[in-house]
Amino acid sequence: MEIGESSESPEGKKKSKSKTPRKPKDSVLKQKSPAEFFADNKNIAGFDNPGKCLYTTVRELVENALDSAESISKLPIVEITIEEIVRSKFNSMIGLAEHERVDEELYDDFESAKAREKRLAKEARIQEIQAKNANLGKKVKEPVASKAMKGRGETSYYRVTCKDNGKGMPHDDIPNMFGRVLSGTKYGLKQTRGKFGLGAKMALIWSKMSTGLPIEITSSMKGQNYTSFCRLDIDIHRNIPHIHVHEKQDKKERWHGAEIQIVIEGNWTTYRSKILHYMRQMAVITPYAEFLFRFLSDAPDKNVTVKFARRTDIMPPVPLETKYHPSAVDLLLIKRLIAETSKQNLLQFLQHEFVNISKSHAERLIGEMGPDFSHKMLVKSLTSQQIVRIHQLFRQAKFDDPSGDCLSPAGEYNLRLGIIKELHPDMVATYSGSAQVFEGHPFLVEAGVSVGGKDVKQGVNIFRFANRIPLLFEQGADVVTRTALKRINWNSYKINQAQDKIGVFVSIVSTKIPFKGTGKEYIGDDISEIAAAVKTSIQQCCTQLKSKILKRIQAREQQERKRNLSKFVIWLNGAIYDVLKEMSHLHASKRKRYTNEDAEVLNKVSNHIITRETLGEKLAQHVEQVDYEMALEYATQSGVNEEPRENIYIQTLEGESKFVDFQSPVFVFRLFQ
């Protein structure tokens, strides 16, 4: 052994090794596809947990079905079915054999003998206490179900099927429409129901992550003599469709639309109420649609079937794609518009690619840009510095606000019908405001306020809609919730905020909904234009309700007044008649003489022309007359018409007819030709 080796102890060697720094691995540049990104961050698209995944899948399919039918102005008929698939059935579907447990302690739901003994003892004590309370006549609480184990337990799978009568899909486009993330027909500046443009693609990604099963699409378009059938999944890493079957089949029935079927992991128990609540709110905002919802299970008592019938055949217009407002663009968008424009020179580009820029206005803008710009300069030749100059001028110059012609609100008429159809309130008021603008984007607020109704809790119940879709989550921070609870003085409108059943419905439509949070589930309270419009709309509804409530109060007071007067008529009648009878005796015995009208009345009493019964009838008639005159005077002073107004709903005629609709905010007059 060498001297150098013997001088170093083993402990010294260990120390020197620990101090030696590790050489870092060379970092490798990686790239993610859009599908991979959303698979890793599925909570962004509303796929937080199995229950929320089931809810979001239903929502995406229903909204796609409505868009498809509305795009061809067809009254939507949407059938949504959720079929529960237990694990054993799922395993047989994928060809996986059942396997008996060998090592029970390995599983998370294993219960030891000691734990089982402890649980049974606790249940016995609870039963004993309940028996004692029952004997003493005390209220017995329902037994609380035993807590689930900490593991995920028995996984449930669901086959979700959605069928509509919409436009259908072109045969060759189906794979890319479902198997390629961030590709679709809804991109552009217009009012859309979608939040991310993912639609059923995110449901397919979740299906691939949770079950590995493909999606099945059946589609048929008008005029086609075949039906398209496609079974596919998605290559997440490459963001391309993986096609299993894509074929044309014989068309067996005269049907157009799409039927989508997908199997996913989910949790119906925890999100049952949310899904049904969503369907109910969708029926409120789209009363012109017919929904059939079914939940099917092997246990018959768990089955659910709910039909939301159509109430009207008046559909809102299809949203129109619009151009960008100069104040709402950024540098990147200007560059994209330049790259995509078909216009040659700068003057034509400004005039045709943006709203509210006329030819004369465009000429003035170009003159303000500086000597480096001219009307006929090629728009494709603009340098980066010149594009920055255009952007700066757009931010500083004054432009007219964009109009709301491109928006498609539900309509005050439809909103009122939807509220009445689903809630059956005692009274309801609706209001539709005019189009307003924030950050260059037009928006419009519609509101409805109802009092009373079925399945409505006491207090203020908030129903929020954005681009005609319900918002069910993160309600507390929403502009509608904060306005309804904190900025409306309900007492001033004769509405009791704590005891009355109040429904507040607010629908906001825009080419850009300013959602907050990653899930896009609420609209922030920081945009003053939207907050003011929401408050005004709710106040207008409350003002309408106040007049109705005052009329009810007046009618109630009138009935009370009449009841009190009628109560004393019997006693007054007897007392007055006895006095008249005594006076008639004095008059007849000439002890006291009465003249003129008094004598005539007393003679009628003596001759039994005026009896106790006839006097009672006259007094009752007088009470009625005085009551009517007082009510009429009150109505005149308060500006209420004498004749009460009632809502009248005319049912649509069967069969197809030619007609012209004359629409107003509160009714539709249909003239048949």
* Alpha carbon distance 666, 297 (integer Å): 43
Tell me the binding residues.
Answer: 64, 164, 185-186, 194-201, 520
* Alpha carbon distance 522, 531 (integer Å): 13
- Angle at which helices 50-70 and 268-285 pack, to 10 degrees? 20
Dihedral sign for Cα atoms in the order 419, 421, 427, 429: positive
User: Do 279 and 306 touch, CB atoms closer than 8 A?
Assistant: yes
Return phi, psi of residue 327, to 5°.
-80, -5
Residue 540 CB-half CA count within 13 A: 18
In sequence order, what DSSP letters do the residues of 221-241 get, joined into one string?
Answer: -TT-SEEEEEEEEEETTTTEE
Longest CA span, the chain: 163
Question: How is residue 654 annotated by DSSP?
Answer: S
Q: Are strands 290-296 and 77-85 parallel, antiparallel or unpaired?
A: parallel
Among 449, 445, 459, which Cα is nearest to 523's?
445
- Angle at which helices 331-340 and 346-353 pack, to 10 degrees? 110
Residues 6+ apart with CB under 8 A from 144: none
* Alpha carbon distance 276, 293 (integer Å): 9
DSSP bridge partners of 659: 672
* Alpha carbon distance 52, 583 (integer Å): 87
User: Do 407 and 436 touch, CB atoms closer than 8 A?
Assistant: no
Q: How many CB atoms are closer than 10 A to CB 559?
A: 11
Q: What angle do CA 351, 352, 357 make, to 5 degrees?
A: 35
> Which run of H or E residues covers position 578?
helix 528-588
Tell me the binding residues for ATP.
Answer: 64, 164, 185-186, 194-201, 520
The CA-atom distances, in angstroms, between 296 and each of 65, 80, 84, 230, 664 are: 21, 11, 6, 25, 43
Residue owning tokens 């079925």: 454
Residues 6+ apart with CB under 8 A from 613: none
User: Do 393 and 362 touch, CB atoms closer than 8 A?
Assistant: no
* Alpha carbon distance 233, 230 (integer Å): 10
In sequence order, what DSSP letters do the residues of 155-175 get, joined into one string?
Answer: -EEEEEEEE--S----GGGHH
Query: What is the Cα Rg of the chain in Å?
Result: 37
Dihedral sign for Cα atoms in the order 531, 536, 537, 542: positive
